[in-house]
């Protein structure tokens, strides 16, 4: 039986409380509708994960930075795809984040069906963790919510992360909000690469 790659994925402890309150602090800006259905696939089936996922906007990192719509600071598109080519055999790029840098996705619709996210990563240079945050739009602005922390030294080669629970289940049924994902490398000595970022919508998975 296939097993998930054990990446020593450290879930940030305080995110449990923050995400449990997601529906509360986002309530003033929450829309009364679920998100549109997305085309899904099973990109992680090789690792025993038969759930269906949809790609994050620009999350395959193919094309120019302008085409992807991501905000890059100390990060850049680089040649070399994750080695499994789950988004397509013709893919040839990934995202490199240098120490002190960050990459933020476009905002996209999130509702209570979106239980987790998953992506591919490898650490190009040791010295620091890779942090993942959700940026949630509220009436008062944007709130950053910690999601996960990939430990320094945990992913020396391209591999899928374990599923990262994004906390969207805290939203009430048929309510949605706008959120983005931010990946950052705080330590100046470290460097990470990521590729093929996917979100798991529960309503499209085998859990039904």
Cβ atoms of residues 34 and 174 within 8 Å:
yes
Average pLDDT per 10 consecutive residues for the chain, totaling 208 residues: 48 44 46 86 96 96 94 97 97 98 96 92 97 92 93 97 80 85 94 97 54
Residue 80: CB atoms within 10 A of its CB come to: 15
User: What domains lie within the chain, and their CATH numbers?
Assistant: 39-204 (2.60.120.200)
Q: What is the pLDDT of residue 6?
A: 47
Looking up tokens 């320094």, which residue turns up? 152
Retrieve residue 39's tokens: 């085309």
Please provide the DSSP assignment of 111-159 as one string: ETTEEEEEEEEEEEE-SS-EEEEEEEEETTEEEEEEEEEEPTTS-SS-E
Residue 93: CB atoms within 10 A of its CB come to: 17
Q: What is the pLDDT of residue 170?
A: 67
The residues that bridge with 196 in the sheet, in sequence order, are none
Looking up tokens 């899904």, which residue turns up? 40
Q: What is the pLDDT of residue 188?
A: 87
For residue 37, with 0-12 CB atoms within 10 Å meaning exposed, 13-18 middle and 19 or more buried, which class applies? exposed
What is the value of pTM for the model shown? 0.86
Q: What is the pLDDT of residue 142?
A: 94
């Amino acid at each position: 039986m296939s097993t998930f790659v054990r990446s020593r994925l450290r879930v940030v402890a305080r995110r449990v409380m923050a995400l449990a309150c997601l529906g509360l602090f986002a309530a003033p800006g929450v829309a009364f509708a679920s998100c549109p259905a997305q085309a899904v696939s099973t990109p992680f089936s090789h690792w025993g994960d038969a759930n269906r996922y949809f790609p994050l906007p620009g999350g395959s990192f193919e094309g120019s930075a302008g085409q992807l719509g991501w905000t890059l600071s100390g990060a850049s598109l680089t040649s070399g795809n994750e080695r499994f080519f789950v988004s397509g055999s013709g893919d040839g790029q990934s995202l490199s984040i240098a120490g002190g840098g960050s990459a933020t996705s476009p905002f996209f619709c999130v509702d209570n069906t979106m239980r987790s996210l998953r992506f591919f990563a490898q650490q190009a240079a040791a010295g620091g963790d890779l942090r993942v945050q959700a940026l949630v739009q509220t009436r008062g602005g944007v709130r950053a919510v910690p999601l996960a922390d990939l430990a320094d030294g945990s992913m020396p080669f391209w591999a899928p992360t374990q599923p990262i629970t994004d906390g969207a289940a805290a939203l009430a049924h048929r309510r949605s909000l706008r959120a983005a994902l931010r990946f950052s490398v705080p330590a100046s000595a470290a460097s990470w690469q990521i590729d093929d970022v996917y979100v798991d919508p529960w309503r499209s998975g085998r859990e039904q």
